[in-house]
């Protein structure tokens, strides 16, 4: 009789019910639903899409650096750039990006030199140049992990630009009278292609998910002559006009 009671107690124990699993508290552990990891949040450093698009607009000063004797820089012009940036992330973190896009760039500068102007004569002239380019940047963008929604970023690379149109205007003195001409076409006298290097720093703020606003300050400098082969030679030196372009830009935008 005692043996029968012992065998019944063993058969009714929790270990026997659980198939020898060793779970002696089935009501506590077995019935608890599995814990899922929390979904990623917008401020997580490794959260985001692999490709982000956006819209951006920037302004700043631009100038020309003359490389011809008897030609001097005469000031700056207002420059502007706007377009669609594209950032591509090839890594598993949101720290390294390939940056590109499509932009329209307005740039130029002012140069001072002596010129022989028709119906006026030989006078010191300040010529203002304005050109519009289709620009395609290619570069690297580096970003820090998010700190309470703020991200510090740096970017560098090259800016490949194709000239669309260009204009110029002259300012000179005749006696005591200052004369400023109307803008005239200067497209054929400028180079059809220019290559520039750029470097910049910026700050981004995460609003929600991949929707961000940002501000960047960027400096770029061209490696190719601003003027084309059809530009007139300098009147005093007789040498071809040569100059490189520089620009500082303050850009704001959004990406999504």
SS3 of residue 32 by DSSP? coil
Give me the DSSP letters along 198-246.
EEEEEEEEEEETTEEEEEEEEEEEESS-SB-TTSPPPTTT-PPP-EEEE
Strands 77-88 and 211-222: unpaired
Q: What is the pTM of this model?
A: 0.79
Classify 164 in phi/psi space as left (phi over 0), alpha (psi -120 to 50) or beta: alpha
Contact (Cβ atoms closer than 8 angstroms) between residue 62 and residue 96: no
| Residues 66, 109: Cα–Cα separation, whole Å | 10
**Per-state percent for the chain, helix, strand, coil, to nearest 5:** 5, 60, 35
Query: Residue 183: which of 170, 169, 171 has the closest Cα?
Result: 169
pLDDT string in tens for the chain (256-residue length): 444 444 454 454 444 444 444 445 455 555 566 666 555 554 444 444 689 999 999 999 999 999 998 999 999 999 999 999 999 998 888 889 999 999 999 999 999 999 988 888 899 999 999 999 999 999 999 999 989 999 999 999 999 999 999 999 999 988 888 999 999 999 999 999 999 999 999 999 999 877 899 999 999 999 999 999 899 888 787 889 999 999 999 999 999 8
Are 208 and 42 in contact by the 8 Å Cβ rule? The answer is yes
**Domains and their CATH numbers in the chain:** 49-255 (2.40.160)
């Amino acid at each position: 009789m005692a043996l029968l009671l012992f065998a019944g107690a063993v058969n009714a124990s929790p270990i026997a019910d659980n198939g020898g699993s060793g779970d002696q508290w089935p009501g506590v552990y077995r019935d608890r639903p599995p814990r899922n990891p929390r979904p990623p949040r917008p401020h997580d450093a490794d959260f985001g899409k692999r490709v982000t698009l956006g819209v951006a607009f920037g302004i700043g000063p631009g100038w020309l650096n003359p490389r011809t004797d008897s030609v001097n820089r005469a000031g700056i012009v207002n420059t502007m750039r706007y377009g669609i940036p594209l950032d591509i992330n090839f890594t598993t973190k949101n720290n390294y990006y390939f940056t590109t896009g499509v932009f329209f760039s307005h740039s130029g500068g002012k140069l001072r030199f002596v010129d022989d102007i028709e119906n006026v004569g030989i006078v010191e002239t300040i010529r203002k140049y304005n050109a519009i380019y289709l620009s395609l940047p290619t570069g690297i963008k580096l970003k820090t992990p998010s700190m309470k929604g703020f991200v510090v970023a740096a970017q560098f690379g090259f800016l490949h630009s194709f000239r669309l149109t260009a204009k110029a205007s002259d300012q000179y003195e005749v006696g005591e009278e200052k004369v400023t001409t109307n803008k005239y076409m200067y497209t054929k006298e400028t180079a059809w292609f220019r290559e520039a290097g750029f470097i910049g720093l910026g700050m981004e703020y995460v609003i929600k998910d991949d929707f961000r606003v940002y501000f960047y300050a960027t400096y770029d400098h061209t490696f190719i002559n601003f003027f084309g082969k059809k530009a007139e030679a300098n009147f005093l030196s007789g040498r071809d006009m040569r100059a490189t372009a520089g620009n500082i830009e303050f850009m704001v935008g959004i990406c999504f």
